Amino acid sequence: MKKYDLCVIGGGPAGYAAAMRAIDFDKNVILIEKEKLGGAGIYNGALSSKTMWELSTRYRKVQEDLSKNGERKLDISYDDVKASIEEAVFDRKFQLTCHLRIIHAETNLITYEKGLASFVTNKEIKISKQNGKEDVIYAEHTIIASGSYPRKLPDVEVDEKTIMTSDGISNLTNFPKSMVIVGAGVIGCEFATIFANFGKTKVYLIDRAKRILPFEDEDISALISKNMEKEGVVIHRKANLKRIEVKNGMVEYEIENEEGEIEVITVEKALLSIGRIPNIKSLNIENAGVKMSKRGVHIGDEDTQTNIPHIFAVGDVSGRLPLVNVGEREARHAVVKMFADFPVKEINYDNVSTIMFLNPVVASVGANEKMLRENNIPYRIAKVDYSTIARAISMGKPEGFFKLIVSEDSEMKVLGMRAVGVHASSAIQSVALLMYMNKGIDELAHMIHPHPSIVEGVQEAARMLLGKSIYKSAVFKDKLKCYKWRDGVETPLTVIDGEKRIKYEDIANHYSSTHED
C-alpha cells in the first residue's frame, strides 16, 4: 500500500491549489480526480461561462455601434461561440496539465490518479479506476475538494438537452429561439444576460422573489432588471412554477403570479439555475467517521476542519461560499493548518470579493445597505455615479456607480463596497485590502490615483465621506449621494469648511445664488 502525507480528493481549483501548496511544505501528495483535471471551474463553470459572457458582451457592443452608423449587422453562430469556449478551456487545461507533469518530474512529490475516491477508513482511500481496477492508498491527511453538482427539481426529467442545468449548455448546437431560466440568482441572471446579449434567443426568467438578485440593494437589482428588459428579457416576478415538462420536443411551463393568475408558456429550451449540491455521495465519509456539519448538507465546520482532525473539507463541500477564489483560499489554508509550525489565523470571510457578470458588471465586497439595515447597524455611505468619472466618460460607458459604506463613527472603517459598471472588478480590490487591514478611508482619500481611471470614483467617494470631495452631492443630487443611516433614519451628511459645518443643501443654494449664469 502506497503512503502519502496528503491525499487530495478532487482536481478542481480548490484541490489543485491544495496539492500545490503542500509541495511548498515538501510533502508527498496524491491528487485524485474522477473526471477532468480542473473540474467544473474550467469545463462548465466560471471559465466557460465567463468566456461566453465576454464574447456576448463584445458582440452586443459591436451590433449597437453598427446599428448607430446604419451599417449591416454582423452574424455569429453557436459554433463560433463553442469554438471560443473550447479554445479557452484547452488553454487552461493545457497549463494545468503541463504544470502538474513538470512538478512531478522535478520534485517527484506529486502523483496524479484518475478515478473515483472513497474512504475505506479515515486514513485509507480506495481509488476506483475507469478500467475496473482498484487501488487503496494510505494518507496521513486528507482534503476533500470534490466540488458540487447542479440542483434539480423533483419530478422534472433533466436530459441536459431540452431541460438543462449549467452542465448542459455545452450540449447546445444552435442558439435556441426561446429559453426559460428557472432561478434569478447570480448564475440565472448571468445566463439571461449572455443569451440576451447575443440577441437570438427570447429569454424568460422565473423569479420567486419580488425582484431579481434579492440579496443585493434595490438600486443594483433595478439597474440590472432595466437592462435585461431593454434587451427583451421577460422577468416573471413573484412567480410560482407549477409545472415544467417536455411536450412534442418543446418545453411547456406553467406559472402562477401573486394574484393567483395562471400562465402557460412554451419555449424551446429550459435552464434550471437553482443552486448546487455538494458532491459527497460516493465518498463513503461514514467509513472515515466524518459527520455532516451543523449547517446541513456540508462538511468542514471548524475552519475547514471536519470532526476527524486530519480530514479537511474545502470549496463547494465546505458550504461557505461556492466561489473559485474562496475554494482556493480554503484549500491553501487547510494545508497550512496541517503542516505549518506556526500559529494560523482562521479564515475571514467578511472581505471576500465577488463579481457578477451581468449588464453592467457588479463587483462587491463586505456588507451592503440591505444587510446593515436588517441588522440595525448604523453606517455612512457615499454613492458616486459613473457619469461623473472622466474615464467612464472617455470610454462612452457612463452607466454604473460606486457605493462605499463605512462605520458611523469617527474611525469610518470600511464595511463594504459595491461597484457597478465597467472595470468594476478591478476597482473593488483596494477597498477589500482596507477591509482586510481593518483600516479607515484616510489612506484611500490621500493616495494619488492614476488618471484617467475608473478607480478615481472610489477615491472621490472616500473624499465625500471625509467632507473633502471635488463634486458636492447637493449639486448633483441625481449623480452623487452622501448620507448616514441610524435607527431607520436616513440623514444627509455635511462637509467641513474650516471650522464651519455646512450642509450640502446650503452649498447648492449658495452656488445657485452667486452663479446665476
What is each CA distance from 423 to 52, 352, 454, 479, in whole angstroms? Answer: 18, 18, 7, 19
- Residues 6+ positions from 155 with CB-CB distance below 8 Å: none
DSSP summary character for residue 316: G
What value does the mean pLDDT of the chain take? 91
pLDDT band at 395 (very low <50, low <70, confident <90, very high): very high
For the segment(s) 3-149+277-339, the CATH number from 3.40.120.10, 3.60.20.10, 3.50.50.60, 1.20.20.10 is 3.50.50.60
pLDDT tens track for 346-392:
998 888 899 999 999 999 999 999 999 999 999 999 999 999 999 99
In terms of C-beta density within 10 A (0-12 exposed, 13-18 middle, 19 or more buried), how is residue 64 classed? exposed
Would you state the torsion angle of the CA atoms of residues 46, 52, 57, 62, taken in this order, to the nearest 10 degrees? 160
The HSE-up count of residue 136 (CA atoms within 13 Å, CB side) is 7
pLDDT greater at residue 64 or residue 203: 203
Residue 306: the pLDDT is 92
Residues pairing with 196 in the sheet: none
pLDDT tens track for 399-458:
999 999 999 998 899 999 999 999 998 889 889 888 888 888 887 888 888 899 999 999
CA 186, distance to chain mean position in Å, is: 7
Q: What is the CA radius of gyration of the chain?
A: 26
513, pLDDT greater than 70: no
- Percent of the chain residues topping a pLDDT of 90: 77
pLDDT greater at residue 508 or residue 340: 340
Name residue 93's amino acid.
K
497, pLDDT greater than 60: no
Distance, in Å, from the CA atom of 319 to the CA atom of 330, rounded to the nearest integer, reads 11
User: Could you tell me the CATH superfamily of domain 360-514?
Assistant: FAD/NAD-linked reductase, C-terminal dimerisation domain (3.30.390.30)
pTM above 0.85, yes or no: yes
pLDDT band at 501 (very low <50, low <70, confident <90, very high): very low
Name residue 165's amino acid.
T
Mean pLDDT across 469-488: 89
Residue 164: the pLDDT is 97
Distance, in Å, from the CA atom of 489 to the CA atom of 430, rounded to the nearest integer, reads 30
What is the layout of strands, in order, in the sheet containing 250-256? 240-247, 250-256, 262-267
CATH topology of 3-149+277-339 equal to that of 360-514? no
pLDDT tens track for 316-330:
998 788 899 999 999
141, pLDDT greater than 50: yes
Structural domain boundaries of the chain?
Answer: 3-149+277-339, 163-274, 360-514
pLDDT band at 507 (very low <50, low <70, confident <90, very high): very low
Distance, in Å, from the CA atom of 461 to the CA atom of 92, rounded to the nearest integer, reads 37
Residue 386 · residue 457 · CB < 8 Å: yes
DSSP summary character for residue 437: T
pLDDT greater at residue 499 or residue 355: 355
22, pLDDT greater than 60: yes
Residue 495: the pLDDT is 52
**Secondary structure percentages of the chain, helix, strand, coil, to 5:** 35, 25, 40
pLDDT tens track for 92-101:
999 999 999 9
Pull the grid cell for residue 112: 496524479
Helices H / strands E in the chain, number of each: 15, 26
Nearest Cα to 9, choosing from 220, 314, 363? 314
Q: Could you tell me where the beta strands, DSSP code E, fall in 386-464?
A: 401-407, 414-420
Distance, in Å, from the CA atom of 108 to the CA atom of 334, rounded to the nearest integer, reads 22
Residue 330 · residue 314 · CB < 8 Å: yes
User: Could you tell me the CATH superfamily of domain 163-274?
Assistant: FAD/NAD(P)-binding domain (3.50.50.60)
